[in-house]
């Protein structure tokens, strides 16, 4: 295994390792406005949601790794402490990418990217009409992590209004993960599309407590056929049957686990 000390790496190389390993990352398509009222639009993949009550999102417009200069977005939110975080789906991914070009301050990326500005209800920056979900936010705080190239700046935002295109909702009025067709950032020039070919479900163990892999019989736990994921599924049950198992059923159990039938897999293993 390659082991590295971040302090011994050049910033561009460290940046590539970080972004290549940490992904896919959601994209904050941040709309801000400068002191003269000129709109700015730029995407940031150092982004996530961190609280539901209050609803808090954080994104980080990092300093240029080459020059150390700050992004126009950061300069704007320091002067006008408001931002719209627009969600990026596959329909606007190319326009989003175009907006990330290093345009000079005062250039309106809405115009450059061919996107439609829509007035917000509670704040000054415009929303992106084409985005399926738009969050109007007040900037609560900005935490500067350094003054050198590559240093992040945590923009802590509180959501004050949410706009959702009804076309991405399911019958229960919640966001349908297939309909919204989200796009996320990977390393280098790569992106990821969250469609039916890349998404899968795992039931969250919130209301149940699994027995754990450590409680699985040794002959099953040490199987050369069952993977760590297989053992994780087997360990998710609340009670393990009491019969002793045999090893010649592992392949059949693995096939059942691949279909999500954990109960039947246990029955095969302990039959």
Q: What is the pLDDT of residues 202-245, one digit of tens each?
A: 877 767 788 899 999 898 899 999 999 999 988 988 888 765 44
Query: Are residues 224 and 156 part of one domain?
Result: no
Q: Across 65-69, 141-145, 209-213, 236-240, which has the greatest mean pLDDT? A: 141-145
Provide the domain count of the chain.
2
Query: Are residues 67 and 181 part of one domain?
Result: yes
Query: Are residues 111 and 58 part of one domain?
Result: yes
167/126 Cα distance (integer angstroms):
21
Q: pTM for this one?
A: 0.85
Query: Are residues 141 and 53 part of one domain?
Result: yes
Query: Are residues 65 and 26 part of one domain?
Result: yes
Query: Are residues 233 and 111 part of one domain?
Result: no
Using alpha carbons, list the distances in angstroms from residue 91 to 22, 28, 30, 238.
Answer: 24, 15, 17, 43
Query: Are residues 167 and 58 part of one domain?
Result: yes
Query: Are residues 186 and 221 part of one domain?
Result: no
265/271 Cα distance (integer angstroms):
10
| High-pLDDT (> 90) share of the chain, % | 67
Domain with 248, as residue range(s), is 213-269
Residue 201 has a pLDDT of 85
Classify residue 1: in a domain, yes or no. Answer: no
Q: What is the pLDDT of residues 2-34, one digit of tens each?
A: 999 999 999 899 999 999 999 999 999 999 999
Residue 245 has a pLDDT of 47
Residue 58 has a pLDDT of 98
Query: Are residues 161 and 222 part of one domain?
Result: no
Q: Among 14-28, 184-198, 255-269, whose mean pLDDT is lowest? A: 255-269
Query: Are residues 223 and 162 part of one domain?
Result: no
Query: Are residues 40 and 152 part of one domain?
Result: yes
Element (H, E) at 17: helix 11-21
CATH number at residue 82: 2.30.110.10
Classify residue 220: in a domain, yes or no. Answer: yes
Query: Are residues 47 and 118 part of one domain?
Result: yes
32/110 Cα distance (integer angstroms):
11
Assess whether pLDDT exceeds 60 at residue 247.
no
Residue 242 has a pLDDT of 61
Assess whether pLDDT exceeds 80 at residue 250.
yes
Q: Across 36-40, 159-163, 242-246, which has the greatest mean pLDDT? A: 159-163
Residue 248 has a pLDDT of 58
Task: Record the tokens describing residue 25, joined without a space.
Answer: 């990352």
């Amino acid at each position: 295994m390659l082991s590295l000390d971040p302090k011994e790496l050049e910033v561009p190389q460290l940046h590539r390792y970080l972004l290549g390993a940490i992904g896919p990352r959601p994209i904050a398509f941040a709309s801000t406005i400068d002191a003269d009222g000129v709109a700015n639009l730029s995407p940031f993949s150092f982004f996530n949601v961190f609280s539901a009550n209050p609803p808090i999102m954080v994104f980080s417009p990092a300093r240029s790794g080459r020059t150390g200069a700050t992004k126009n977005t950061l300069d704007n939110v320091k002067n006008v402490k408001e931002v719209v975080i627009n969600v990026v789906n596959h329909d606007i991914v190319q326009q989003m990418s175009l907006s990330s070009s290093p345009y000079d301050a005062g250039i309106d990326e809405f115009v450059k990217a061919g996107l439609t500005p829509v007035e917000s209800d509670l704040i000054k920056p415009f929303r992106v009409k084409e985005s399926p979900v738009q969050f109007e936010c007040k900037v609560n705080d900005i935490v500067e992590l350094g003054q050198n190239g590559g240093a992040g700046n945590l923009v802590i935002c509180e959501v004050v209004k949410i706009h959702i295109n009804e076309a991405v909702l399911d019958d229960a009025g919640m966001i349908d993960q297939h309909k919204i067709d989200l796009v996320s950032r990977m390393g280098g020039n790569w992106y990821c599309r969250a469609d039916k070919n890349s998404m899968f479900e795992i039931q969250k163990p919130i209301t149940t407590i699994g027995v754990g892999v450590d409680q699985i019989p040794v002959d099953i736990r040490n199987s050369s056929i069952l993977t760590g994921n297989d053992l994780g599924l087997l360990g998710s049950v609340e009670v393990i049957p009491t019969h002793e198992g045999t090893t010649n059923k592992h392949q059949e159990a693995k096939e059942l686990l691949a279909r999500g039938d954990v109960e039947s897999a246990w029955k095969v293993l302990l039959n």
